[in-house]
Structure 1
Amino acid sequence: MKHCIALLGLSVAMMGGALASEDLAKAKNCMTCHSVDKKIVGPSYKDIVAKRGAEKGAEAALAAKIKGGSKNEWGMVPMPPNNVSDAEAATLAKWVLTLK
């Protein structure tokens, strides 16, 4: 019984982190241009994971692009730099890479 309670608590904690990251993406206006599973202005998060998720250093590279923006990777529309801290960019990158 103790193991079941511990697993339940761990599951809730993990889900809370995922929800918190989605909330952060909404708060930082990421969801204006991106969606989990469809292209809006930018690629879907699932497309990003499919293209870059297996690369070495993917989390750090994605965090850098979230913070600093990018050009010509997904077409002609550049992604502008975002007003996020390094920690927020890392949290968002980690969350995006879980969306397979």
Structure 2
Amino acid sequence: MRAIWIGMIAASALFLVGTAQASEDLAKSSGCLNCHTVDKKLVGPALKDIAAKYADDADAATMLAGKIQKGSNGVWGPIPMPPNGAVNDENAKILADWILSFK
């Protein structure tokens, strides 16, 4: 029984690592990491700072997915975030959830 639990835990950990890597790959291919990094401001804010700002917002994932697709202006300073219309609804949600995972 113990071996089964250890196997399930290990499989879950591998799944989470794989999901995180897939999300990071999506962020790279979508151009997000051209302006953002995980832990420091580049052109746009650090992803950790975004996650911290919206940590208590139950609708944060939906709101961020919209900003990814439609762009944003004035939230983090004078430089606007351009819209990324090439990101579909499903991928925008994946990216938003990935960003919020840094809280």
Q: TM-score, normalised by structure 2?
A: 0.94
CA positional deviation for 1:53: 2.2
Give 1:61's aligned residue.
Answer: 63
Asked if 1:34 is matched to 2:17, the reply is no
Moved over 4 A (4+): none
Distance 1:71 1:14 in 2: 33
Structure 2 gap ranges (5+): none
Query: What is the aligned counterpart of 1:84 among 80, 84, 87?
Result: 87
C-alpha separation in 2, matches of 1:8 and 1:53:
28
Letter in 1 for 2:94: T
RMSD between aligned alpha carbons? 0.7
Residue identity over aligned pairs, in percent, reads 46
Distance 1:10 1:56 in 2: 25
Aligned length: 100
The whole-number CA distance in structure 2 between the counterparts of 1:62 and 1:12 is: 27
Q: SS where residue 41 of structure 2 aligns?
A: coil
Cα distance between partner residues in 1 of 2:73 and 2:19: 30
- Runs of 5+ consecutive residues of structure 1 not aligned to the other structure: none
TM-score, length of structure 1 as denominator length: 0.97
Match of 1:19 among 18, 21, 39: 21
